[in-house]
């Protein structure tokens, strides 16, 4: 079969790789200039490695993507970086049971309660009964109100931007169950890894059409027609890996009922400010800092240089300042300097002299990066099969109960191909 794939993120790349191994012809359309999707990277002239526009890493139990890296002989680096929280003006390591027991802003009883609940979530393999439960109410009842207000409430507010009230406990369970102390990262960066996969796909006969946006998709006599600027392309089947609202935009023949179902799926965009510094921002060696402050303009501070060696970036220390925000938020219309001006008072609380070490800054924005996962979300998930014959949808809204990430994008690509090839 001749199959078209819209999107060269890791779902599209994974699907293409698997289809080609099964003997099919594949063409991938991507509006950006390179592969990777949300893991798209860039590289400064004097860097040896690329850097992701939006921070990324893998857990050591991310089997789908780690197996793929092994299959294409791409080296993976594994380290145990430090993870901390920012609470009441102080930074505390909080990435182990011992660290939880040492946390000073909770009583010993509260620390023990939190530890027991986290252990239950981590070692409980069954998630379906949990999806009916509200995360907020569960954490308040099991850990106690002060634990919730000190640790979890600020993080949920910062992550879901006012939509945190009805988040399913299945989502929270997945975050706790999946985490590993050690993290993995592809040598050269995610762009280097994506390019290696592109090379393998081309070796297998796959075709890439970069810098080309698909403007319309429609059924055409049992085939599927993709329209781009100035040309048309016909396929036996098509896999769409775009966010659902983009799929609606390019497929006018979708039924009203199906469109309404997709529009009920909510999500947030991402705004990441990337600082390039002469020295480390988080002086205690923390890689990931979750900000537990409801008034903070930042959700997380990710000091990439406390994870990967600065020599890969010509000695520059890379820091991400991350936010998930509604797509109509003012930050999406602001440049890097304007956003930094807003962040600056908070950043100086952590590192008063960071600006004297500032080499440069960039801001990167993505219109859909974090699905909102309400209670009973499994009833809302769209199937792979769409109302348009021979058109299949595969995007991050379908990886539930797991959270978005390249591992589940790779797994999703494998799953949609398996479904499509075995469809009756």
The ranges assigned to domains in the chain are 2-50+188-265+376-421, 96-178
Q: What is the per-residue pLDDT for 424? A: 67
d(CA 184, CA 79): 7
d(CA 85, CA 92): 5
Residue recorded with tokens 């909770």: 106
Structure tokens at 57: 């890493």
Give Cβ neighbours of residue 129 (< 8 Å, ≥ 6 apart). none
> Residue 411, preceding bond cis, omega within 30 degrees?
no
End-to-end CA distance of the chain: 16
Q: In this predicted model, what pLDDT tens digit does every residue of 319-371 receive, in sequence order?
A: 999 999 999 999 999 999 999 999 999 999 999 999 999 999 999 999 888 99
* Sign, CA torsion 192/10/301/99: negative
d(CA 39, CA 309): 19
Structure tokens at 82: 């430090």
Structure tokens at 234: 């016909």
Q: How many CB atoms lie within 10 A of CB 335?
A: 10
Mean pLDDT by 10 residues, the chain (424 residues): 97 98 97 92 95 97 98 98 96 93 95 96 95 97 97 93 88 95 97 98 98 96 94 97 96 96 93 97 97 94 98 98 94 98 98 97 93 95 97 96 93 98 85
Task: Look up the CATH architecture of domain 2-50+188-265+376-421.
Answer: 3-Layer(bba) Sandwich (3.50)
Strand partners, 268: 370
> Residue 401, preceding bond cis, omega within 30 degrees?
yes
Strand partners, 5: 28, 239
């Amino acid at each position: 079969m001749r199959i078209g794939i819209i999107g060269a993120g890791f779902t599209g790349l994974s699907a293409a790789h698997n289809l080609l191994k099964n003997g099919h012809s594949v063409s991938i359309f991507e509006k950006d200039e390179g592969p990777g999707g949300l893991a798209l990277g860039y590289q400064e002239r004097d860097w040896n490695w690329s850097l992701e526009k939006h921070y990324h890493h893998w857990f050591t139990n991310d089997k789908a993507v780690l197996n793929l890296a092994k299959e294409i002989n791409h080296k993976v680096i594994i380290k145990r970086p430090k993870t901390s929280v920012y609470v009441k003006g102080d930074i505390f390591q909080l990435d182990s049971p011992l660290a939880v027991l040492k946390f000073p802003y909770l009583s010993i009883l509260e620390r023990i309660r939190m530890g027991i609940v986290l252990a239950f979530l981590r070692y409980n393999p069954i998630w379906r009964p949990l999806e009916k439960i509200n995360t907020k109410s569960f954490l308040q009842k099991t850990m106690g109100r002060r634990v919730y207000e000190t640790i979890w409430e600020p993080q949920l507010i910062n992550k879901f931007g006012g939509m945190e009230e009805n988040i399913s406990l299945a989502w929270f369970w997945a975050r706790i169950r999946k985490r590993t102390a050690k993290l993995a990262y592809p040598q050269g960066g995610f762009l280097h890894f994506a390019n290696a996969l592109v090379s393998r796909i081309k070796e297998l006969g796959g075709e890439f059409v970069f810098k080309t946006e698909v403007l319309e998709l429609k059924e055409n006599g049992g085939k599927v027609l993709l329209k781009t600027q100035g040309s048309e392309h016909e396929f036996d089947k098509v896999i769409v890996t775009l966010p659902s609202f983009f799929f609606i935009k390019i497929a006018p023949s979708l039924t009203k009922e199906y469109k309404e179902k997709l529009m009920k799926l909510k999500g947030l965009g991402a705004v990441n400010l990337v600082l390039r510094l002469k020295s480390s921002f988080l002086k205690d060696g923390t890689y990931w800092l979750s900000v537990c402050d409801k008034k903070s303009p930042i959700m997380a501070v990710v000091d990439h240089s406390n994870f990967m060696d600065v020599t890969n970036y010509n000695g520059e220390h890379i820091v991400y300042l991350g936010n998930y925000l509604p797509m109509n938020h003012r930050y999406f219309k602001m440049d890097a300097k304007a956003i930094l001006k807003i962040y600056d008072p908070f950043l100086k609380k952590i590192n008063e002299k960071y600006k004297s070490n500032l080499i440069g800054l960039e801001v990167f924005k993505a219109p859909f990066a974090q699905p909102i996962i309400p209670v009973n979300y499994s009833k809302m998930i769209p199937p792979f099969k769409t109302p348009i014959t021979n058109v299949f949808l595969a995007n991050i809204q379908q990886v539930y109960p797991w959270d978005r990430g390249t591992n589940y994008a790779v797994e999703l690509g494998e799953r949609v191909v398996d479904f499509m090839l075995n469809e009756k």
